[in-house]
Structure 1
Amino acid sequence: MSHTTERAATMAALATRDEDVRSLLAGGWIRYRTSPGLQDLSWEAHTVCARIGQLYYDDPDEARRLFRTLVPGAGEGIDFRPPLSIDYGERLVIGDRTFINADFLIIGGGLVTIGADTLIGPRCAIYTPNHAEDTTSRLEGWELPEPVTIGSNVWLGGSVTITPGVTIGNNAIIGAGSVVTHDIPADVIAVGNPCRPLREITTARAVPAAN
């Protein structure tokens, strides 16, 4: 059984007995703090993340195997540096040849999709849940996970923060320390807090051609 099939079966089994897991998969509101299923999933994910960090430099092949178990939607040729902190590996899809630098953080159960050939700098964070605004619902623990989509050949500088519901277009460059609160189009350099497009990416070659 493939990692993808195995994890899908686990999620389906949990969904039969936990309404918050069902709601997560349907894109609805959840209450993490009162959901045994969601807490079990995130606990397991963080345990695997910790194990990857422990093994990475002594047994990199096993660390990579564990990563693919954690993230069944990972493509081929992905390179990463620990530590990682991922709440739900089943809710993450990563394209081929993407590089993830150290201290990568994904919070919440919103579906996160990262394209191929993307470069993710150190200490980047993706936040997917929006907590309820009204005080009563927030005290009850309600939150709404929203998807985040990062295109192919995107470069996220160090310490970039991406908030719920954001889409970043193909080839975009996000400057270090930026906080992305709205969609960013393809083929631009964007910086700031809140992050805004600065200019289009030049097509002029800036480095020597390979021999």
Structure 2
Amino acid sequence: MPSELEKMLSGELYVAADPQLVEMRVNARTLLSQYNTIPFEQTGKRQEMIGQLFGKAGKNVDIQPPFYCDYGSHIFASDNLFMNFNCVVLDCAAVKIGDNVQFGPNVQIYTATHPLIAAERIKGPELAYAITIGHNVWLGGGTIVCPKVTIGDNTTIGAGSVVTKDVPANVFAAGNPCRVIRELKTQ
């Protein structure tokens, strides 16, 4: 029988109150409370802690505090990631982030969701679906990325957008819901 962690990571209904999941979240919160108080000039210390928290942290990962996540271990960041202040990543499923990605302030990445039918939702089990952000992507400030979304390479998402569906590569997309505004020339 699969564990609640295995169910969570495979997109099945799972119980978030499971002791293993609670322990993982407590460990992440402990690291985050330390991370968010590291003095600005101690870049190496912040990089080291992100390496402990994330499932993968490439070179030059710069996350401005405060930063919040559920587990951290399901965040897989490639090289040259910049997250501005106050970003939130609910990583109940995998969050894969390509090279050279920039997050504006207050960007929120949500893999977590709940059943839509109230009778099912109030029973308690939750759902989570992976999010993939391609290479060379810029998420403008206040962007929200919803579960099960893929954002293609070289794409820019305008500030304040709510991304509910996949966005192709090489476009500028914005709005609520987010939609493609125009294609971007590649070099």
Q: What TM-score range do you get, normalising by the shorter chain?
A: over 0.9
Give, in angstroms, the shift of residue 61 of structure 1: 2.1
| 2:4 paired with 1:20 | yes
Give, in angstroms, the shift of residue 123 of structure 1: 0.5
Q: Give the Cα–Cα distance (whole angstroms) in 2 for the partners of residues 108 and 95 of structure 1.
A: 16
| 2:95 paired with 1:95 | no
TM-score relative to the length of structure 1: 0.83
Q: Give the Cα–Cα distance (whole angstroms) in 2 for the partners of residues 199 and 135 of structure 1.
A: 38
Q: Which has the higher helix share?
A: 1
Give, in angstroms, the shift of residue 168 of structure 1: 0.3
Give, in angstroms, the shift of residue 67 of structure 1: 1.1
Q: CA RMSD in A?
A: 1.7
Q: Give % identity.
A: 36
| 2:104 paired with 1:121 | yes
Asked whether the 8 Å contact 1:128–1:164 carries over to 2, the reply is yes
Tell me which amino acid in the other structure corresponds to 1:173: T
Unpaired segments ≥5 residues, structure 2:
none
For residue 144 of structure 2, the aligned residue among 152, 161, 166 is: 161
Q: Secondary structure at the match of 1:64?
A: helix
Tell me which amino acid in the other structure corresponds to 2:6: R
Tell me which amino acid in the other structure corresponds to 1:87: D
Structure of higher CA gyration radius: 1
Corresponding residue for 1:37?
Answer: 20
Q: Give the Cα–Cα distance (whole angstroms) in 2 for the partners of residues 72 and 202 of structure 1.
A: 33
Q: Give the Cα–Cα distance (whole angstroms) in 1 for the partners of residues 119 and 4 of structure 2.
A: 19
Asked whether the 8 Å contact 1:122–1:158 carries over to 2, the reply is yes
Unpaired segments ≥5 residues, structure 1:
1-15, 205-211
For residue 63 of structure 1, the aligned residue among 46, 63, 68 is: 46
Q: Deviations over 1:86-143 (max 9, x none)?
A: 1111111011011111111012411100100011111000011220122232112111
Larger RCO, structures 1/2 (Cα 8 Å, 6+ apart): 2
Q: Deviations over 1:127-160 (max 9, x none)?
A: 1122012223211211110000000000111000
Q: Secondary structure at the match of 1:126?
A: strand
Give, in angstroms, the shift of residue 172 of structure 1: 0.3
| 2:83 paired with 1:110 | no
TM-score relative to the length of structure 2: 0.93
The number of equivalent residue pairs is 187
Tell me which amino acid in the other structure corresponds to 1:93: F
